[in-house]
Amino acid sequence: MTLGALFEDLHEVAQVLAEHISEETGIVDVQAGAPREATATTEPGVRITLLYTTPQPGHRNDPHEASGGGLRPPPLSLSCFYLLTTSGADGDDPVAAHHALGQLMRLYHDVPSLRLPLSAHPGSPPGTFTDLGSGELTVTQVPVTLDQVDHIWTPLTERLQPWALFEVAPVQLVSRLPETPAPAVVRPGGVVLTEPVGLRPELLASSPQPARPGGWVRVSVATLKAVDGVWLGGVHVPSGDPALVTAAAPGGGVSAVLDLSRSGLETLGAGTHRLNVSAGGLASRAATVRLSADVPLLDAPGSPDQDAGDDLLLTGAGLAAVQEILAWPAAGIRAPSDVRALPFTSGGAGSLTVHTTGGLATLPSAITAWRLAARHAGQHYTPYVELELRR
């Protein structure tokens, strides 16, 4: 079992430290790189310099580790020593540099261990941290003697400035050697858990793409837990908010529908916006939703599922010239007959009604997941929307 923080590359360690320091202290200018003059700027800044690394002797004979269906070679285990320097001065007084250094030392005195990835922490603000590293990383300030000050700063071209030395360990780099087959388990079939826990939700799809500001967006999520919130463009919509409607998907997971005309989502304009979903206290990896006000399109249906016996009201933009509504199975088209034209009534540029008689009610009952698109003059189609039919 890996007893440390596992990384793909050494540069990821400094990036994790930079993101953690910036989020916890509020210092914006935190970067990996060489030290700079304390008076280089008036605003507080931090530079993270890798001074040296050394292998950890206690990990030289680590055994292979279980990984998936095989055994993974042990990682390279290191202790990394980082020189953290601070800058920021008003005139000749480096008050901001001293203040920033005090914050750094206090931060890792109070929080000496980091559980990675930082993005997986419940309540972690979406988009703040990257998905780097796994396991536990300790950050410890190293006591320094006067002789060591000379040894550290003599090779550097910069003048002595506010600084501290930290040991970051254990840093473990993934081995590039191939996995070996695992030995047979004693119990046939291995150990089976009755309920998987601690799994992050996964965003499967969103529709339509693009959507329109103030419209509706449908999101499909693979999760074992109930959805407890959605972030779109930095706007948090918790479970129970009228702008968020969720329902269990027939094939597993959750379907969520967002009303972009309320709960702060109405402030989102045209452009690309970051999307995250939280379930069971864990946030998904980010996806994007593109909003456009310049193209004809259908909004996602306002409910996660639709009774096939009821007419379906769809809103959107540029719908006055729609000539045909087409439906086809979400699983894919195997024959031209899978694409069905549905009768509808136009409501002008902003809406239309798809009829159940001769339309939704005639779709094969064995298929519940459908996609709909509107055709304009010629072969011009709106982005498709997802439709879940119940009977």
- CATH number of the domain to which 385 belongs: 2.60.40
The domain boundary residue, chosen from 294, 311, 335: 294
Question: Contact, 132 vs 7, CB < 8 A?
Answer: yes
Helix axes 11-25, 95-110, angle to 10 degrees: 100
Domain count for the chain: 3
Statement to judge: residues 268 and 306 lie in one domain = no
Query: Looking at residue 238, what is its pLDDT?
Result: 94
Distance between CA 279 and CA 222 in Å, rounded?
10
* Shared-domain flag, residues 164 and 216: no
Does residue 272 form part of some domain?
yes
Residues 349 and 363 in one domain: yes
Note the pLDDT of residue 182.
64
In a domain, 186, yes or no: no
- Comparing CA positions, the residue from 144, 208, 236, 180 lying closest to residue 66 is 180
Task: Say yes or no: 66 and 137 in one domain.
Answer: yes
Question: Could you read off the pLDDT of 88-128 as tens digits, one per residue?
Answer: 988 778 899 999 999 999 999 999 999 999 988 776 777 78
What is the predicted pLDDT for the residue at 195? 52
One domain for residues 146 and 166: yes
Q: For position 2, what pLDDT does the model report?
A: 46
pLDDT of residue 378: 82
Asked if residue 157 and residue 69 are part of one domain, the reply reads: yes
Taken in order 198, 204, 210, 214, is the CA torsion positive or negative?
negative
Residue 376's SS3 state is strand
Whether residues 145 and 213 share a domain: the answer is no
188 within a domain of the structure (yes/no)? no
What value does the CA radius of gyration of the chain take, rounded to a whole number of Å? 28
Output the CA–CA distances (angstroms, integers) from residue 172 to 31, 35, 50, 294, 350, in the order listed.
22, 25, 16, 50, 56
* Separation between Cα atoms, residue 301 and residue 315, nearest integer Å: 8
* Residues 259 and 300 placed together within one structural domain of the fold: no
Element (H, E) at 204: strand 202-207
Whether residue 29 is found in the same domain as residue 174: yes
In a domain, 187, yes or no: no
pLDDT of 103 reads 95
Instruction: Work out the burial of residue 64: count CB atoms within 10 Å of its CB; fewer than 13 is exposed, 13-18 middle, 19 or more buried.
Output: middle
Does any domain span residue 193? no
Report residues of the chain scoring pLDDT below 50: 1-2
- Report d(CA 139, CA 210) in Å as an integer: 44
The last residue of one of the domains, among 115, 149, 181, is: 181
Same domain flag for 204 and 282: yes
Verify that 279 and 312 share a domain, yes or no. Answer: no
Among 251, 271, 294, give the residue marking a domain's end: 294
Residue 187 is predicted with a pLDDT of 53
Which structural domain, as residue segments, surrounds residue 312? 296-391
Is the Cβ–Cβ distance between 229 and 264 less than 8 Å?
no
Residues 327, 213, single domain; the answer is no
Distance of CA 155 to the CA centre of its chain: 41
pTM of the model: 0.53
Q: Is 190 domain-assigned?
A: no
192 in a structural domain: no
Domain assignment of residue 189, yes or no: no
The CATH number of whichever domain residue 272 belongs to comes to: 2.60.40.10
3-state secondary structure of 12: helix
Task: Please give the pLDDT value at position 379.
Answer: 85
